[in-house]
Structure 1
Amino acid sequence: MNKDKRLQILTKLRDANPHPTTELEFSNPYELLVAVALSAQATDVSVNKATAKLFPVANTPEAMLTLGAEGVKQYIKTIGLYNTKAENVIKAAQILVDKHGGQVPEDRAALEALPGVGRKTANVVLNTAFGWPTIAVDTHIFRVSNRTKFAVGKNVDLVEQKLLKVVPKEFKVDVHHWLILHGRYTCIARKPRCGSCIIEDLCEFKDKTEIE
């Protein structure tokens, strides 16, 4: 895909949604960190249902430690892998208290050192909580980037590198939200909704579907 076509796609996505953000519900960086960690192999909807009850009780590392792993499990047991996730939430909370004064660090290495936090989670936190131009590549972004030919890559790391290279600076902070939402609601996995897609004319996917 050429530079001009990418620019047109980004402009259309921006015009349709000028201020995109995550669908995870949070009110501070720590809540975001926990929510993103819980969302691994789970839907944002399921995470929001759990955190709607968890965060009023514990939305700081100190309060989370008071709950303990068993306490956290009672709130998140509707989420997949909840046992491991609860343990990681508590271990991470302890590190935040011991090493970072109970604050979420604005630092990639420090974030990735937390249990249950990988590159993707760190990218989301740095982008959404702190406004960094990072691009967290999940299954939706990987699919959309490859299917449209916007940024082709054999794995999520290669797609991330390509996106960081080809997306102009003015779009970098918001692009991962646009692509996630596009993959979640329009360019869906089984049968993309090409007929209702605002970038269909620019997309290079060869097997476009008819209007549903």
Structure 2
Amino acid sequence: MNRAKREAIFSRWRTLNPEPRTELNYSSPFELLVAVLLSAQATDVGVNKATAKLFPVANTPEAILALGVEGLKHYIKTIGLFNSKAENLIKTCRILVEQHNSQVPDNREALEALPGVGRKTANVVLNTAFRQLAMAVDTHIFRVSNRTGIAPGKNVLEVEKRLLRLVPAEFLLDAHHWLILHGRYICKARTPQCTACPIEDLCEYRKKTSEK
């Protein structure tokens, strides 16, 4: 895919959605960190239902520490892997209080040192909370990048690096959101909705569907 096509694709997405946002509900960097940590192998809808009950009670590291592991589990038990997530979140909150003055750090090294926080989670927080150039590649973005030809790669890190290099600079800050929303609602895993796709004529996928 050439640069002109990429520019056209992201230009269309920007026209349709000028200010794309994550579908996770949050009102602070800490709430976002919690939501993203809980979202592994879970839907945003499911996470939002849980945090809608958790955040009014505890939305700071100190407040979640006060709940304890068992108290926290009560609020997140509807989410997959809630046992390990509760353990990691409590450990993360303790580190934030003891080492970061209860603030979410705005650098990758410190974020990835937090229990349960991997590269993808760190990238989401850096990009969404702190508006830094970072590309969080999940299954949707990996699929869209490869299927469309925007930034094909054999693994998530390769796709991440290619996206950062190939996406035109003016679109980079919000590219993560446009890609994930496109993968979630249009370029679906089993049956991409090609007839409803706003970039169908620019996409280089060879097995486009004709179903309406």
Map Cα deviations across residues 153-197 of structure 1 (whole Å, 9 max, x no partner): 000000000000001221111000000000000000000000000
CA contact (8 A) 1:196 1:211 kept: no
Give 2:110's aligned residue: 110
- Give the residue type in structure 1 aligned to 2:103: Q
Per the TM alignment, residue 211 of structure 1 is displaced from its structure 2 partner at its CA by 3.9
Distance 2:95 2:146 in 1: 37
Distance 1:148 1:171 in 2: 17
Distance 1:168 1:66 in 2: 45
Map Cα deviations across residues 134-163 of structure 1 (whole Å, 9 max, x no partner): 110000000000000110000000000000
Give 1:146's aligned residue: 146
- Give the residue type in structure 1 aligned to 2:24: L
CA contact (8 A) 2:97 2:103 kept: yes
Distance 2:210 2:144 in 1: 18
Per the TM alignment, residue 200 of structure 1 is displaced from its structure 2 partner at its CA by 0.2
Q: Are residues 1:58 and 2:61 paired?
A: no
Q: Are residues 1:48 and 2:78 paired?
A: no
Q: Are residues 1:210 and 2:210 paired?
A: yes
Map Cα deviations across residues 1-33 of structure 1 (whole Å, 9 max, x no partner): 111101100100111100001000000000000
Give 1:164's aligned residue: 164
CA contact (8 A) 2:6 2:168 kept: no
CA contact (8 A) 2:144 2:179 kept: yes
> Could you list the runs of 5+ residues in structure 2 that have no partner in the other structure?
none
Give 2:94's aligned residue: 94
Structure 2 length as normaliser, TM-score? Answer: 0.99
Distance 1:17 1:162 in 2: 23
Distance 1:210 1:116 in 2: 41
Structure 1 length as normaliser, TM-score? Answer: 0.99
How many residue pairs were aligned?
212
Give 2:3's aligned residue: 3
Per the TM alignment, residue 91 of structure 1 is displaced from its structure 2 partner at its CA by 0.1
Give 1:175's aligned residue: 175
Aligned residues: CA RMSD? 0.5
Give 1:120's aligned residue: 120
> Could you list the runs of 5+ residues in structure 1 that have no partner in the other structure?
none
- Give the residue type in structure 2 aligned to 1:122: A
Distance 2:177 2:107 in 1: 21
SS at match of 2:25: coil
